[in-house]
A and B are shown apart, each in its own frame.
Chain A
Amino acid sequence: MSQAEESKAERVKEVEDHISNQPTPQNYVGSEVRRKEDEKILKDHREYVQDRNPPDALHAAYVRSPHAHAEITDIDTSAAEEHDECKLVMTVDDYRDAGYAPMLCGIQEWAEWPLADGKVTYVGQCVAMVVATDRYVAEDIADLVEVEYERLDPLVDVMEARDSDNVLYPEMGPNAPSNVAFDETFELGDPDGVFEEADHVIEKEFDWESRASGVPLETPSALGTCNMNPEDGEEKFHVWSNQQLHTWADVAIYAALDQPREEVRVEVPLTAGGSYGTKHATVYRHAVLTAVASEMVGGNPVKYVEDRIEDLQGGDSASTDRHYKAKIAFNDDGEILANDFWLADNFGAFPRFICTNQVLKPLAIVNGPYDVEHARYEYEIVCTNKMPQTSYRGFGTPAHSWVWEMLMDEAADVLDMDPTEIRLKNYIDEEDMPYKTPSANVYGEGDYAKTVRKVWDLVEDEKDGGLLDPDRVEELREEGIYRGSGSALVLEPGLGCYDYHTRQFIPRDELATYYTPENRDFSDVVTMAEPLEAYIRTDGKVVVKISSDDQGQGHQTIASQMLADELGITPDDVVVPQQDNLDVASDVGSASSRMATVMSSAAIGLGEKLRGQLEELAADHWGIDTEQVEFDEGGVKQLSTEGVEPVDKRHAERLEQEFLTLTELVHIDKMMETGDSHFKPQAELKTYAYYEYPDVAYENREYFEEAMIRKRPTYPSISFAANVPIVDVDVETGEIEIQKIYSVRDSGRIINPMIVEGQHHGGIMQGIGAALQEEFGYSEDGQPQSTTFFDMMLPSIENLPELEIEKQETWSVFSKSGAKGVGETGIMDIPASLAHSVNDALKPLDVTVEEMPMTPNRVRSWIRDAGDAPAPADD
């Protein structure tokens, strides 16, 4: 056996041993435990920001820019301030003069004030905040603020902006003055040499400039309160806000408020619905400004809930927006040798905090699922007068995977090979796992070729009398319906390491010189462990304190299933409340599939730790050795009392009770020996445990050391999916209808199949929306065109085709629980898969997809441009 095989086999044995040793009478993990969250969500027993209405609350509205690019020559607030019910008008000068700080941006030497400072650079940008007795009045008063603008030429097109002398922020960023806020080139291996020698090189340009969004049920919102007379220990600010990642990204709030963390309590609504990254960028503006406004008005809570138009128009709610120039080199036999991707990412007016990392994540899968040793990856973050991008589920990889699959189709075409054959030839061999990519990320496990064959096996029946019956396909084509299918396998990298997130804050020369294995020690790498706490209540229930923000992904259910198995209790015995930022240790939070991968792994460690402590507690109580006790279903049992003489009557009585339940243990733990009911400090309790599951990439140093030292993205959790969508393209209307999607989806160990399936359904739907219809359109002068759901075409249940999904479990070799997660499922793989099937459908017309989304107008124009297409009578 190779070393890799040995370590894999060891890993599997370790996890299997763990499971067989668990004290549970049944395995909740792996079974369809009903989601604890659902009843409350479905019955609307959730509290949204909008629902919280302190009696003395005031309400805010913004004066927003109607222009894409303009200088502010004057702001006259006098008429607004004269209004009887006006409590405050705040401009950037008021904010700055009061001593508050700019907001965090995503790259070095860049700062953004939460209100426009001298100029506006996108439609919907906040220029002033008005606070009044109610929202309606606040909006009326906002109209009384007179802002004089001098219009400037707007920039919308990314390629125009990168070369333009018309620079949005000439003073900012390492490239100043330039609209290219940050750019980097990664030479991995010897791409130039390979491109020179290869039999074939193809180069194509691709556009995915539409942007898609998770459009949350409740838009970014905040209720900020300043405590004007705090008692000792009370925080100065309390912010109730639907911020995502609130125990980590709360820095964006307290830094702008110029406060230590301890002075800003951030409370988030529990299971209030999807964030998908769409609240990374903009919520903290509202959190900060409502808190500041509260201080300015003397302590009344100030509330602001973005309305839907504000959200779609200027709420930093969408992503991705890219132009690619991409090439691959390959040989006559179809072997892919190298890839070279250049991309300009249109970030809109500001390169926002966290979101800028979206150009880096694809580097972790620079070679896709293919065994390719040489690569170049170049990106430019470009500022324009579009609304700033947010992060969005997929975090920059859907476009990367799409470009890869389109190039594979092209290569197959050049070589006249079957598109599946050329892929099968190039997938990373299972035997080469763990596989180190050109960028030094490592894929742990997975048999890609076998997975693709498996999905084709599922489709087989369709070829005989089914959807893909050649006669049927031929018949349809005569009616102008071109049916196509193809199999693409796409990766879903998860569990991003922490260190690379600050890459774009580092001067580029240092990135090249200091961040190398020669200069930087591994100990310098910043990691993020997964913290988890639990304590046993006096009724024996186990409270688990999670540091993640829980939008409803299933944290309560997953934590309950895990701890139930660890302690031999039921999920109903586990309580998982939402925590404020100050009540738990910091954690990255709900991102990058962390719930399935590391929260689950932390739960195992926490369970082990708690069991050990409880055994100690029981042994101590019985006055016997820890070897003589064992944790069993929901308590600790005595194995023997050999060699123990009771010291007195009470001791003898204690020894007679041979099993101690969790309830009994907690009473023993909290009562002092004398019988007095004095509670011990938490740190002394055996029924309380804090556990940190170490950073996975850091723990698997032998694999990830190089990438981490180089401050490159590592994603040790690689889920994947092989899809065969069967699509119909109506060549007269350009409409695409998906008949069915066959999919084999591998997300490692599955903790709750029902949750995984739900995520697949939702994620596939998001992928369909992004690939076929969602679009944040802009006019040439930067006016947003998709500010309602009339124009921003969200996918609905009607767009969801029949799905035939097979779940596959190749357990992670790197994480303790073996799970790899489905946090970004569907959106990552479906767009590339659909485009691949559309290429197949339109092959007779010589049309290939080079632009997303595949809206009817685009599809029609490709067919029209292809020339010999069958034209509708009136076209």
Chain B
Amino acid sequence: MSMIFDGEFETHRAPDELWTYFVDPDIVADCAPGMEEMNRISDSEYEATITVGVGSVKPTFSVDATVLEMEEPEMLVMKAEGSGGRKGAFEAVSRMEMSESEDGGTILQWEAEANVSGIIASLGQRALGSVAERLIGQFFDCMEGKVEQGVDATPRMAPKSDAEADLD
């Protein structure tokens, strides 16, 4: 089942101030909801275990994430493929764009296209949209908190050279 999610956030911090946080895999992992474990394979590729509840289903996904495109401090494109055993699978490409707002802050726009399969696609169909929105809201709130706290961030992600942004 193909689904498109999108949203927008605003913050008073400037884009280049935020950027560092979004490309530090440890900070991203810390803020990602349901993240149980993440292993770095390279600067472009990561393996993670994530558990999220979608409606009455609570799958644990083994996720392979790849950084596809980066343009500091404006754009980040990632692809993720997750397999949740009997409960289903997904693959998604997400794109995040940041632009400077009139008052020097950031307007962050994001969009994700996902193919969802199996029980989460049928059982969770009603809940998927709102769950995704809630989780992403939590994620951005957490990231904003890290920036506000002035947590140290180290930009370490790099785009994978030959990767494609298409869904299979």
Residue numbers of A with Cβ under 8 A of B are 61-68, 123, 139, 142-146, 149-151, 309, 313, 779-781, 783-788, 791
Contact = CB atoms under 8 A, between A and B. Distances in A.
B119 A309 contact: yes
Nearest to A64: B86
Interface stretch (B16-24, B31-39, B99-107, B120-128): B120-128
A78 to B, nearest CB: 15
B121 A779 contact: yes
Contact of A783 (B1, B83, B86, B168): B1
Contacts of B108: none
A787 B83 contact: no
Interface in B106-121: 115-119, 121
B118 A66 contact: yes
Nearest to B120: A66
Contact of B117 (A123, A146, A150): A123
A313 B122 contact: yes
16 contacts: A62-B86, A63-B86, A65-B118, A66-B88, A67-B89, A67-B117, A67-B118, A123-B117, A123-B118, A143-B84, A149-B89, A151-B115, A151-B168, A783-B1, A783-B117, A786-B122
Contact of A313 (B60, B83, B119, B168): B119
A310 to B, nearest CB: 9
B168 A66 contact: no
Contact of B123 (A143, A151, A309): A309
Interface of B: 1-2, 60, 83-89, 115-119, 121-123, 125, 168
A145 B117 CA distance: 17
Contacts of B87: 143
A310 B84 CA distance: 16
A784 B124 CA distance: 11
Nearest to B116: A783
Task: State the majority secondary structure of interface residues on B.
Answer: mixed
Contacts of B118: 64-67, 123, 783
Nearest to A124: B118
Nearest to B125: A785
A335 to B, nearest CB: 49
A63 B116 CA distance: 17
Contacts, number: 62
A779 B60 CA distance: 24
B55 to A, nearest CB: 10
A786 B119 CA distance: 10
A66 B123 contact: no
Task: State the majority secondary structure of interface residues on A.
Answer: loop
Contacts of A309: 119, 123
A787 B168 contact: no
Contacts of B1: 779, 781, 783
A711 B168 CA distance: 47
B129 to A, nearest CB: 14
A313 B118 CA distance: 9
A463 B77 CA distance: 69
B14 to A, nearest CB: 41
B116 A787 contact: no
Contacts of B88: 66
A781 B115 contact: yes
A566 B34 CA distance: 72
A50 B119 CA distance: 23
Nearest to A63: B86
A747 B117 CA distance: 47
Given A139-B86, A143-B86, A66 B125 contact: no
Nearest to A777: B122
A783 B85 contact: no
A779 B85 CA distance: 21
A785 B122 contact: yes
Contacts of A146: 83
Contacts of B115: 151, 781
Contacts of A63: 85-86
Given A781-B115, A783-B118, 14 more contacts: A66-B118, A67-B117, A123-B117, A123-B121, A142-B86, A143-B84, A313-B122, A781-B2, A783-B117, A783-B121, A785-B122, A785-B125, A787-B122, A788-B123
B74 to A, nearest CB: 31
Contacts of A791: 122
B123 A787 contact: yes
A781 B85 CA distance: 19
A779 B114 CA distance: 14
Q: Which of A143, A783, A785 has the most CB of B within 10 A?
A: A783
A123 B125 CA distance: 15
Contacts of A144: 85
Nearest to B118: A66
Nearest to B57: A309
Nearest to B122: A787
A540 B116 CA distance: 65
A80 to B, nearest CB: 10
A779 B125 CA distance: 10
A431 B2 CA distance: 60
B122 A783 contact: yes
Given A142-B86, A143-B85, A779-B1, A784 B168 contact: no
A183 to B, nearest CB: 31
B37 to A, nearest CB: 15
A142 B89 CA distance: 14
A91 to B, nearest CB: 16
Nearest to B56: A788
A606 B115 CA distance: 62
Contacts of A61: 86
Contacts of A65: 118
A123 B89 CA distance: 11
Contacts of B117: 66-68, 123, 783
Nearest to A313: B122
A785 B122 CA distance: 5
A143 B84 CA distance: 7
Contacts of A68: 117
A692 B89 CA distance: 55
Nearest to B126: A790
B122 A142 contact: no
Question: A-B pairs with the 6 shortest C-beta distances?
Answer: A66-B118, A143-B85, A66-B117, A787-B122, A783-B121, A783-B1
Nearest to A784: B122
A67 B90 CA distance: 10
A788 B56 CA distance: 11
B118 to A, nearest CB: 3
A406 B168 CA distance: 43
Nearest to A143: B85
Nearest to B62: A146
Contacts of A142: 85-86
B68 to A, nearest CB: 18
A139 B84 CA distance: 12
Q: Which of B87, B115, B119, B123 has the most CB of A within 10 A?
A: B119
B119 A66 contact: yes
Contacts of B122: 123, 313, 783-787, 791
A395 B123 CA distance: 29
Nearest to A787: B122
Contacts of A783: 1, 116-118, 121-122
Q: Which of A139, A780, A785 has the most CB of B within 10 A?
A: A785
Contacts of B89: 66-67, 149
A68 B122 CA distance: 12
A787 B119 contact: yes
B93 to A, nearest CB: 14
A493 B80 CA distance: 55
B2 to A, nearest CB: 6
Contacts of A784: 122
B123 A150 contact: no
Q: Which of B60, B87, B118, B123 has the most CB of A within 10 A?
A: B118
A313 B115 CA distance: 18
B53 to A, nearest CB: 16
B47 to A, nearest CB: 13
A344 B25 CA distance: 53
Contacts of A781: 1-2, 115
A68 B2 CA distance: 13
